[in-house]
Structure 1
Amino acid sequence: MKIKQVFFLAKLQGVKPFEIRKNDRDFQIGDMLVLHELDDYEKETGRTITQVINYVFEESEYLQKGYVIISGEMIGMQLSKD
Protein backbone atom coordinates (compact mmCIF):
# COMPACT_ATOMS: atom_id res chain seq x y z
CA MET A 1 0.00 0.00 0.00
CA LYS A 2 1.21 3.49 -0.76
CA ILE A 3 1.61 6.12 1.95
CA LYS A 4 2.54 9.80 1.65
CA GLN A 5 5.90 10.77 3.10
CA VAL A 6 4.44 12.96 5.86
CA PHE A 7 2.41 10.00 7.18
CA PHE A 8 5.30 7.56 6.72
CA LEU A 9 7.50 9.78 8.90
CA ALA A 10 4.77 10.03 11.55
CA LYS A 11 4.63 6.22 11.63
CA LEU A 12 8.41 6.02 12.06
CA GLN A 13 8.18 8.47 14.98
CA GLY A 14 5.44 6.35 16.56
CA VAL A 15 2.81 9.10 16.56
CA LYS A 16 0.50 7.61 13.89
CA PRO A 17 -0.41 4.02 14.80
CA PHE A 18 -3.45 3.91 12.51
CA GLU A 19 -4.49 4.08 8.86
CA ILE A 20 -7.81 5.24 7.44
CA ARG A 21 -8.34 3.24 4.27
CA LYS A 22 -10.96 2.19 1.80
CA ASN A 23 -11.80 -1.39 2.75
CA ASP A 24 -11.34 -2.73 -0.76
CA ARG A 25 -9.04 -5.49 0.56
CA ASP A 26 -11.30 -6.78 3.35
CA PHE A 27 -8.73 -6.00 6.05
CA GLN A 28 -8.65 -8.53 8.90
CA ILE A 29 -6.76 -8.85 12.17
CA GLY A 30 -3.52 -10.69 11.46
CA ASP A 31 -3.14 -9.35 7.90
CA MET A 32 0.25 -7.93 6.97
CA LEU A 33 0.54 -4.40 5.58
CA VAL A 34 3.57 -3.25 3.64
CA LEU A 35 3.47 0.54 3.43
CA HIS A 36 5.53 2.04 0.58
CA GLU A 37 6.61 5.65 1.12
CA LEU A 38 5.83 8.11 -1.68
CA ASP A 39 7.76 11.32 -2.23
CA ASP A 40 6.20 14.66 -3.14
CA TYR A 41 6.02 13.56 -6.79
CA GLU A 42 4.08 10.37 -5.92
CA LYS A 43 7.12 8.17 -6.66
CA GLU A 44 8.14 5.35 -4.33
CA THR A 45 11.26 6.14 -2.32
CA GLY A 46 12.19 2.50 -1.66
CA ARG A 47 11.46 2.84 2.05
CA THR A 48 8.83 0.56 3.57
CA ILE A 49 7.20 -0.25 6.89
CA THR A 50 5.69 -3.67 7.54
CA GLN A 51 2.88 -3.97 10.07
CA VAL A 52 0.59 -6.72 11.26
CA ILE A 53 -3.02 -5.56 11.77
CA ASN A 54 -4.20 -5.87 15.37
CA TYR A 55 -7.45 -3.86 15.18
CA VAL A 56 -10.03 -3.03 12.50
CA PHE A 57 -12.66 -0.36 13.21
CA GLU A 58 -15.50 -0.26 10.69
CA GLU A 59 -18.38 1.35 12.58
CA SER A 60 -20.52 2.90 9.87
CA GLU A 61 -21.92 5.52 12.23
CA TYR A 62 -18.50 7.19 12.40
CA LEU A 63 -16.91 6.45 9.01
CA GLN A 64 -17.79 7.04 5.41
CA LYS A 65 -19.30 3.89 3.91
CA GLY A 66 -16.66 1.42 2.76
CA TYR A 67 -13.85 2.85 4.91
CA VAL A 68 -12.08 1.43 7.97
CA ILE A 69 -9.55 2.52 10.54
CA ILE A 70 -6.85 -0.08 11.00
CA SER A 71 -4.06 -0.17 13.53
CA GLY A 72 -1.11 -2.44 13.67
CA GLU A 73 2.19 -3.31 15.22
CA MET A 74 5.32 -2.45 13.26
CA ILE A 75 7.29 -5.64 12.66
CA GLY A 76 9.80 -4.46 10.08
CA MET A 77 11.11 -1.62 7.99
CA GLN A 78 13.36 -0.97 5.03
CA LEU A 79 14.90 2.48 5.22
CA SER A 80 17.35 2.32 2.35
CA LYS A 81 16.91 1.68 -1.35
CA ASP A 82 19.10 -1.46 -1.21
Structure 2
Amino acid sequence: MKPKLHKLKLSPEYFRDVRSGLKTFEVRKNDRSYKLGDLLMLREYNPTTKEFTGEAVLRRVSYMLSDPVYVKEGYVILGLDSSRR
Protein backbone atom coordinates (compact mmCIF):
# COMPACT_ATOMS: atom_id res chain seq x y z
CA MET A 1 0.00 0.00 0.00
CA LYS A 2 1.32 3.42 -0.98
CA PRO A 3 1.98 5.73 2.00
CA LYS A 4 -0.21 8.79 2.30
CA LEU A 5 1.39 12.25 2.15
CA HIS A 6 0.22 14.73 4.79
CA LYS A 7 1.14 18.41 4.30
CA LEU A 8 1.36 20.09 7.70
CA LYS A 9 2.16 23.57 9.02
CA LEU A 10 4.98 23.89 11.52
CA SER A 11 6.00 27.02 13.46
CA PRO A 12 9.57 28.24 12.79
CA GLU A 13 10.99 27.22 16.20
CA TYR A 14 9.70 23.65 15.85
CA PHE A 15 10.60 23.48 12.17
CA ARG A 16 14.25 24.33 12.93
CA ASP A 17 14.41 21.58 15.57
CA VAL A 18 12.89 18.97 13.23
CA ARG A 19 15.20 19.97 10.37
CA SER A 20 18.30 19.76 12.60
CA GLY A 21 17.25 16.34 13.93
CA LEU A 22 16.85 17.56 17.52
CA LYS A 23 13.06 17.02 17.47
CA THR A 24 12.15 13.52 16.27
CA PHE A 25 8.45 13.49 17.10
CA GLU A 26 5.31 15.46 16.38
CA VAL A 27 2.19 15.77 18.57
CA ARG A 28 -0.91 16.18 16.45
CA LYS A 29 -4.67 15.97 16.59
CA ASN A 30 -5.45 12.62 15.00
CA ASP A 31 -7.90 14.02 12.47
CA ARG A 32 -6.09 12.64 9.40
CA SER A 33 -6.01 8.90 10.15
CA TYR A 34 -2.21 8.80 10.35
CA LYS A 35 -0.64 5.39 9.76
CA LEU A 36 2.85 3.94 10.17
CA GLY A 37 4.84 4.60 7.01
CA ASP A 38 2.90 7.74 6.06
CA LEU A 39 4.93 10.72 4.90
CA LEU A 40 4.73 14.12 6.55
CA MET A 41 5.68 17.18 4.54
CA LEU A 42 6.37 19.62 7.35
CA ARG A 43 6.18 23.15 5.95
CA GLU A 44 7.54 26.11 7.89
CA TYR A 45 4.70 28.55 8.57
CA ASN A 46 5.04 32.00 10.09
CA PRO A 47 1.98 32.60 12.31
CA THR A 48 2.69 36.36 12.48
CA THR A 49 2.61 36.92 8.72
CA LYS A 50 0.26 33.96 8.13
CA GLU A 51 2.48 32.79 5.27
CA PHE A 52 4.62 29.78 4.44
CA THR A 53 8.35 30.54 4.28
CA GLY A 54 9.04 28.14 1.42
CA GLU A 55 11.06 25.77 3.63
CA ALA A 56 9.93 22.15 4.03
CA VAL A 57 11.22 18.78 5.22
CA LEU A 58 9.91 15.29 4.54
CA ARG A 59 9.67 12.76 7.37
CA ARG A 60 8.24 9.23 7.56
CA VAL A 61 6.01 8.17 10.47
CA SER A 62 8.07 5.47 12.20
CA TYR A 63 6.13 5.19 15.48
CA MET A 64 2.70 6.12 16.81
CA LEU A 65 1.51 6.53 20.39
CA SER A 66 -2.19 7.16 20.98
CA ASP A 67 -2.75 5.32 24.28
CA PRO A 68 -5.12 7.56 26.32
CA VAL A 69 -3.09 6.76 29.45
CA TYR A 70 -0.26 8.87 27.97
CA VAL A 71 -1.82 11.04 25.25
CA LYS A 72 -4.94 13.20 25.37
CA GLU A 73 -7.82 11.45 23.63
CA GLY A 74 -8.03 12.37 19.96
CA TYR A 75 -4.31 13.14 19.73
CA VAL A 76 -1.30 11.12 18.64
CA ILE A 77 2.47 11.33 19.05
CA LEU A 78 4.19 10.53 15.77
CA GLY A 79 7.80 9.33 15.72
CA LEU A 80 9.66 10.89 12.77
CA ASP A 81 12.25 9.13 10.64
CA SER A 82 14.38 11.12 8.20
CA SER A 83 16.03 8.16 6.46
CA ARG A 84 15.28 7.45 2.80
CA ARG A 85 14.06 3.85 3.32
TM class, shorter-length: 0.7 to 0.9
Please tell me whether the aligned partners of residues 23 and 66 of structure 1 are also in contact (alpha carbons under 8 angstroms). Answer: yes
Aligned residues: 76
Q: CA deviation at 1:43?
A: 1.4
Given residue 51 of structure 1, which amino acid in structure 2 is its aligned partner?
R
Q: Which ranges of structure 2 fall in alignment gaps of 5 or more residues?
A: 1-7
Which stretch shows the higher mean deviation, 38-47 or 56-65?
38-47
* Equivalent in 36, 51, 71 of residue 43 of structure 1: 51
Matched, 1:58 2:75: no
* Overall identity of the aligned pairs, in %: 32
Q: Scaled by the length of structure 1, what TM-score is found?
A: 0.85
**What does 1:1-80 align with in structure 2 at a 5 Å threshold?**
1-41=8-48, 42-75=50-83
Structure 1 residue runs without a partner (length 5+): 77-82
TM-score normalised by length of structure 2? 0.82
Give 4+ residue runs of structure 1 displaced > 3 Å after superposition. none
- Alignment RMSD (CA, Å): 1.4
